[in-house]
Amino acid sequence: MIRIGTKKDALALASISKDSLHPAWKEADFLAAMENAQARVFVFGDEPQGYGVFYFAADEGEIPSIAVKKEFRKQGAGKELLEAMVSFSKEAGVKRIFLEVRGSNETAISFYKGNGFSEVGKRPKFYDNPTEDGLILEKTF
């Protein structure tokens, strides 16, 4: 079940992010996104099992963070979150969505490419711990 996140979810989402991503999003980051009229925070599950953050302006969107709790991965939660963001994008008039992914994260790259994203660029030394390039992926409608 996908729903829009609320302030009471922010701490749980920060915990998921901390266990999944580096750099992780903090509770304040989720609260700021929830208060931003040009952002949506999508949550998987009544008790958060995953999330996706989506920013949009004019006809472009960005997914700056998406993560699923380790014990719920590879069960469709990430795909449902991504589909919800894509569906929202179309309703909001977004024509293309961007995201960055670590160049070494083959699982994520395969997931995004399998869901219609293409590599369109590279951000040298975008990530740290370890330092590596970020790949820019795009999905157009």
Global pTM exceeds 0.85:
yes
Per-residue pLDDT at 23:
85
Domain containing residue 91: CATH number: 3.40.630.30
Structural domain containing residue 93? 2-140
Encode pLDDT of 36-59 as tens digits.
Answer: 999 999 999 999 999 999 999 999
CA distance 24 to 64: 11
Determine the distance from the C-alpha atom of residue 83 to the mean position of all C-alpha atoms in its chain, rounded to a whole number: 11
The burial class, CB within 10 Å (0-12 / 13-18 / 19+), for 102 is: middle
**Number of domains comprising the chain:** 1
